Amino acid sequence: MGKNITQKIIASHLVSGKMKAGSEIGLRIDQTLTQDATGTMAWLQFEAIGVPRVKTELSVSYVDHNTLQQGFRNPDDHQFLRTVAAKYGAVFSPPGTGICHQLHLENFAKPGKTLIGSDSHTPTAGGVGSLSMGAGGLSVALAMAGEPYYITMPKVVKVQLEGELTGWATAKDIILHLLGLLTVKGGVGKVFEYAGPGVATLSVPERATITNMGAELGATGSLFPSDAVTKKFLAAMGRPEDYVQLKADPSAAYDEEIVIDLAKLEPLAAKPHMPDRMATIKSLAGLKVNQSAIGSCTNSSYADLKAVALMLKGKRVKPETDLFISPGSKQVLKMLADENLLQIYLDAGARILECTCGPCLGYGGSPMSAGVSARTFNRNFEGRSGTQDAQVYLVSPQTAAMAALNGAFTDPATWGEAPAKPVMPKKVPSIRHLFVFPPEDGSGVEVLRGPNIAPLSRFGRTPDVVEAGVALKVGDDITTDHILPGGTHIMSLRSNIPAISEYLFTNVDKEFVGRIKQMDGGVIVGGENYGQGSSREHAALGPRHLGVKAVIVKSLARIHRANLVNFGILPLLFVDKADYDKVAQGAQVAIPAGKIKPGKAVEAVVDGKLKVKLTNDLTAKELDIILSGGLLNAVGASR
Ligand code: F3S
* Complex ipTM value: 0.99
Q: Where are the beta strands (DSSP E) in 183-295?
A: 190-195, 221-223, 256-261, 268-270, 278-280, 291-294
Q: Return the CATH number of the domain spanning residue range 466-634.
A: 3.20.19.10
Which CA distances in Å does 185 have to 55, 342, 406, 542? 34, 39, 34, 25
353 ligand 1 Cβ < 6 A: no
First to last CA, the chain: 48
Of the candidates 250, 569, 229, 604, the one whose C-alpha atom is nearest the C-alpha of residue 423 is 229
- Convert the pLDDT of each residue in 151-163 to its tens digit: 999 999 999 999 9
- Convert the pLDDT of each residue in 585-628 to its tens digit: 999 999 999 999 999 999 999 999 999 999 999 999 999 999 99
| CA separation for the pair 178, 159 (Å, rounded) | 10
* Packing angle of the helix pair 558-566, 137-144 (nearest 10 deg): 70
| Whole-number pLDDT of residue 603 | 97
Of the candidates 511, 459, 420, the one whose C-alpha atom is nearest the C-alpha of residue 625 is 459
Probe target for ligand 1 pocket from 62, 65, 384, 385, with the most ligand atoms within 8 Å of CB: 65
Q: Is the pLDDT of residue 490 over 90?
A: no
376, 395 Cβ separation under 8 angstroms: yes
The DSSP element (H or E) to which 393 belongs, if any, is: strand 391-394
- Mean pLDDT calculated for residue range 417-427: 94
Which CA distances in Å does 178 have to 101, 184, 238, 326, 634? 21, 10, 33, 26, 39
| CA separation for the pair 494, 501 (Å, rounded) | 9
| Interval between CA 52 and ligand 1 midpoint (Å) | 30
360 ligand 1 Cβ < 6 A: yes
Q: Is the pLDDT of residue 314 over 70?
A: yes
Per DSSP, the three-state class of 556 is strand
46, 145 Cβ separation under 8 angstroms: yes
| Whole-number pLDDT of residue 82 | 98
- Convert the pLDDT of each residue in 259-294 to its tens digit: 999 999 999 999 999 999 999 999 999 999 999 999
The region, left, alpha or beta by phi > 0 then psi within -120 to 50, assigned to residue 545 is alpha
191, 221 Cβ separation under 8 angstroms: yes
Q: How many CB atoms lie within 10 A of CB 318?
A: 18
Q: Where are the beta strands (DSSP E) in 423-500?
A: 466-473
- Convert the pLDDT of each residue in 226-266 to its tens digit: 999 999 999 999 999 999 999 999 999 999 999 999 999 99
| CA separation for the pair 280, 46 (Å, rounded) | 46
| The dihedral sign for the CA sequence 435, 440, 442, 445 | negative
Judge: domain 268-414, CATH 3.30.499.10: yes
- Convert the pLDDT of each residue in 366-387 to its tens digit: 999 999 999 999 999 998 898 9
Positions marked active-site = 64-65, 119, 379, 534, 536
501 ligand 1 Cβ < 6 A: no
Q: Return the CATH number of the domain spanning residue range 5-264.
A: 3.30.499.10
Of the candidates 128, 129, 137, 135, the one whose C-alpha atom is nearest the C-alpha of residue 151 is 135
148, 15 Cβ separation under 8 angstroms: yes
Backbone angles phi, psi at 520, to 5 degrees: 60, 50
388, 507 Cβ separation under 8 angstroms: yes
- How is the beta sheet containing 131-134 ordered, strand by strand? 91-93, 58-62, 31-35, 114-117, 131-134
| Whole-number pLDDT of residue 280 | 98
**Domain 5-264 shares a fold with domain 466-634:** no
Instruction: For residue 322, give the DSSP letter.
Output: E
| Whole-number pLDDT of residue 637 | 64
378 ligand 1 Cβ < 6 A: yes
361 ligand 1 Cβ < 6 A: yes
179, 214 Cβ separation under 8 angstroms: no
Q: Is the pLDDT of residue 638 over 60?
A: no
85, 101 Cβ separation under 8 angstroms: no
| Interval between CA 532 and ligand 1 midpoint (Å) | 15
Q: Is the pLDDT of residue 639 over 60?
A: no
537, 38 Cβ separation under 8 angstroms: yes
> In the chain, where are the structural domains located?
5-264, 268-414, 466-634
% helix / strand / coil in the chain, to the nearest 5? 35, 20, 45
* Candidate from 2-11, 362-371, 428-437, 490-499 with smallest mean pLDDT: 490-499
